[in-house]
Structure 1
């Protein structure tokens, strides 16, 4: 007799249905799993046997064959433990499953040797797939309950062990657990109010947050580049429900969620080390996996000491920064991952770091400074909207206590500017993502502005892409000022963030 249980696999971030077929027959005792499963699936045999036995269910040794279809697609993950165990118990007549349960529900979960159902990855993807395919619900580990509950209008069945699973299979009943409460204890409060001086950098970060622009900060060691970059998170608007689902799906499929962080409800801030490889930043590998740039989707990717990253890593950023997605093509697959983020880079102006400081602090020659900054290629710089210099604070700025804005005050302006953009485009699109047609339609200039830009193109030797980015930045500045049109002052401020002498 063959028992068929529904589960899922995933390719990159895209889930697909998998039929787990279990055949129990007479013959020499054996347990075989076929259908292109990875090592974790092949090792599940002993986990499942011990889990069933230690849950108090006895089964006679028989020949067990498990087939995962479609058989020509690679399958990964420990979440196939639960559907395989259900198939074995049904095939051995250990349980009496209620009619239509197997046809209406997907099953996901890892089984421990004691029969407990453990946390697994890809739960959000599974719940979305079950909903899209018209299934009644999905059976998942209790530890994944909050994660799975993000998806509405579908039945989420949480189980703690095999006994809970059997109860649901035989009666259709299950424990209605309350959602675990969010842990508030480890939250670290940071604020722009903590930052003395650096008004231009604060303004640049406000523009980035409002319009989704990319930023490069070049400055002296200890001038506050990293501190400033981290505080952009305090002025970004809260995530919508759709964004929470999208980002949680990415983290779920990557195995980045845990009991303390079961869902992503705050915009991600990713800051990989400069020794990171191209695959870890962009994604890909033998099996398609997400990189840091995709895990920063809807949030911020911060590359501190950006010139220390390998050249191939920086050059691989070109397309994702422009297209807001990552297309990874290998001999065995092609995958597309999201990369809709704000990119921030920071570095010193030279090897010793003191080129911007007065006096004889800098020990680098002009040639050494030029070679140091040449690590950032023209095409990469072209994709960065704002570039600013940051110097150390003076004695008066350090000792004094001038009026400073809080993050909440800046955040109000950012949210208002984003609302203007939402009305302009009719959906959640930011000025930083405007196309050439959008620019022609929404960045109309008067003659004075045109003359300023003509002079800038000649003086700064701007490329077409750089020219467009100036207009996008000016549009965001005008939105922050609640101005319907782009005026001279907005163009001049946008030009002040170019720093073309890198």
Structure 2
């Protein structure tokens, strides 16, 4: 008799239903798992046998074949431990179970040698799939409770060991956890008070540019002297970004669950991610891919910020691979054996020195680089990449007066209120969560109307700065965000002037 249990498989971030079936027959005692399982699944045989024995169940010396279907798609993850264990126990008739439970629930969980269930990845995907396919619920380890309870409309059954599984399969009764997205206060979206804008001295233009970035989702490049505050400012953007919506929390928790980045201390993503990979990171680590499709930093930064400190030190092929995600807000990865698509909707913050010694902007001849060396250093950033960055500013070290100024500055909370108000205006304008940086050509023609004087101003800027069509569009998008921050229905002359000023470094 063939016993079947439902579980989940995923490839990249796409989930699919997997049936785990077992055939137990007389013959030479063997235990084989077929169906394109990865190393973790093949190694699960010893964990499962020990877990069954140490939970007090007998493991008959028979020929056991476990099949994972569909057999033509590779299966990854330790969450197959539980469904494989359940089909073997039920196949051996260790107890009388209710067949309808096996038919109506998905099972996910990693098993230990003692038979206890341990935290595993992909739980949010499993809950979403169970709901979409009309299953009654999902059975998961107790440690994954908060992840599973994010999805409403299904039963979330949490178990600690195989004895709990037996109780549920025989009686059909178990404590069902109420689905809720209420998060403990310790997990709320509270930014670090040590990273407040009120602590920043000087650099008013950089702070203003960061406010525009946060309001409209624009990309930003800071070129400045070492020690002028580029990294310090970049970290503080998190204090002015609006909190995540419930849908965004689910989307991010799903991504981080698949990537195995969730922990018992942080089982749900409640804050916008801030990813800052080192310039020595590999292309796979930043972009994604690999032998099996893994998420890169640009996907882990989805709905948040990707900060590339000293961007010119990154490998050229990695920077060029950012073209698609910066434009399309997604990345398509094609390899010999697969093609996947990951979301990459992030704000790019980047910083670099103006030259090798870093002192090019400083007075009194501190720079030791030749004009040719300065030119070659900045040429590491190609034109197409610079074209996709909305705001660029030059920064120098603070003066003595600025360093000694202890007057009160505007707090992050005050700036954040303006950012949230600007985003609400965009939500009302587009009737969606689209930001100004996401506007298409049709959106620009519909929502951005310039009078003749503004057109003349823009025409002059295009000619003098040698702007491309993409740069022209991005100036209009930034101007629209600046107008939103001012609660202005139309783009005024000062809004367009400010937007153009952030492209002056292209001279």
TM-score calculated relative to the size of structure 1: 0.98
* Superposition map of 1:172-187 within 5 A: 172-175=172-175, 181=184, 183=186
- Shift of residue 188, structure 1, vs aligned partner: 3.7
Find the counterpart in structure 1 of residue 385 from structure 2.
380
Find the counterpart in structure 1 of residue 252 from structure 2.
247
Range that drifts further, 300-309 or 58-67: 58-67
Find the counterpart in structure 1 of residue 484 from structure 2.
479
Find the counterpart in structure 1 of residue 216 from structure 2.
211
Query: Partner of 1:326: helix, strand, or coil?
Result: strand
Find the counterpart in structure 2 of residue 87 from structure 1.
87
* Superposition map of 1:4-15 within 5 A: 4-15=4-15
Q: 2:410 is matched with which residue: 405, 410, 423?
A: 405
- Shift of residue 60, structure 1, vs aligned partner: 1.6
> After superposition, what is the alpha-carbon deviation per residue over 1:36-88, rounded to whole angstroms, capped at 9, x for unaligned?
11111011100000001111112221110000000111111111110010001
Find the counterpart in structure 2 of residue 391 from structure 1.
396
Find the counterpart in structure 2 of residue 2 from structure 1.
2
Change (3 A) 1:162 1:183: farther
- Shift of residue 500, structure 1, vs aligned partner: 3.2
TM-score calculated relative to the size of structure 2: 0.97
After TM superposition, the runs of 4+ consecutive aligned structure 1 residues lying more than 3 A away are 175-188, 499-502
For the 8 Å contact 2:393–2:505, the answer to whether it is kept is no
Alpha-carbon distance in structure 1 between the residues aligned to 2:2 and 2:454: 74
Find the counterpart in structure 2 of residue 39 from structure 1.
39
Find the counterpart in structure 2 of residue 124 from structure 1.
124
For the 8 Å contact 2:273–2:305, the answer to whether it is kept is yes
Alpha-carbon distance in structure 2 between the residues aligned to 1:95 and 1:239: 46
Find the counterpart in structure 2 of residue 135 from structure 1.
135
Alpha-carbon distance in structure 1 between the residues aligned to 2:480 and 2:187: 38
Range that drifts further, 43-52 or 181-190: 181-190
For the 8 Å contact 1:226–1:346, the answer to whether it is kept is yes
> After superposition, what is the alpha-carbon deviation per residue over 1:422-469, rounded to whole angstroms, capped at 9, x for unaligned?
111111110001001111111110111111111101100000000000
Alpha-carbon distance in structure 1 between the residues aligned to 2:506 and 2:437: 23
For the 8 Å contact 1:35–1:68, the answer to whether it is kept is yes
For the 8 Å contact 1:24–1:63, the answer to whether it is kept is yes
For the 8 Å contact 1:59–1:94, the answer to whether it is kept is no
> After superposition, what is the alpha-carbon deviation per residue over 1:349-372, rounded to whole angstroms, capped at 9, x for unaligned?
111111111112111111111100
Alpha-carbon distance in structure 1 between the residues aligned to 2:465 and 2:76: 52
Change (3 A) 1:320 1:494: same
Alpha-carbon distance in structure 2 between the residues aligned to 1:288 and 1:22: 28
Q: Structure 2 unaligned segments of length 5 or more: list them.
A: none
- Shift of residue 339, structure 1, vs aligned partner: 0.7
Query: Partner of 1:280: helix, strand, or coil?
Result: helix
Change (3 A) 1:211 1:125: same
Alpha-carbon distance in structure 2 between the residues aligned to 1:294 and 1:200: 29
Alpha-carbon distance in structure 1 between the residues aligned to 2:163 and 2:366: 71
Q: Structure 1 unaligned segments of length 5 or more: list them.
A: none
For the 8 Å contact 1:29–1:61, the answer to whether it is kept is yes
Q: CA RMSD in A?
A: 1.5
Range that drifts further, 41-50 or 274-283: 274-283
Alpha-carbon distance in structure 1 between the residues aligned to 2:185 and 2:66: 39
Find the counterpart in structure 1 of residue 227 from structure 2.
222
* Superposition map of 1:56-205 within 5 A: 56-175=56-175, 181=184, 183=186, 188-189=192-193, 190-205=195-210
Alpha-carbon distance in structure 2 between the residues aligned to 1:501 and 1:82: 58
Find the counterpart in structure 1 of residue 449 from structure 2.
444
- Shift of residue 97, structure 1, vs aligned partner: 1.0
For the 8 Å contact 1:183–1:260, the answer to whether it is kept is no
Range that drifts further, 274-283 or 304-313: 274-283
For the 8 Å contact 1:110–1:117, the answer to whether it is kept is yes
Find the counterpart in structure 2 of residue 268 from structure 1.
273
The reply to whether residue 23 of structure 1 matches residue 28 of structure 2 is: no
Alpha-carbon distance in structure 2 between the residues aligned to 1:200 and 1:497: 10
For the 8 Å contact 1:2–1:23, the answer to whether it is kept is yes
Find the counterpart in structure 2 of residue 416 from structure 1.
421
Find the counterpart in structure 1 of residue 348 from structure 2.
343
- Shift of residue 170, structure 1, vs aligned partner: 1.1
Alpha-carbon distance in structure 2 between the residues aligned to 1:3 and 1:208: 55
Query: Partner of 1:9: helix, strand, or coil?
Result: strand
Alpha-carbon distance in structure 2 between the residues aligned to 1:54 and 1:106: 24
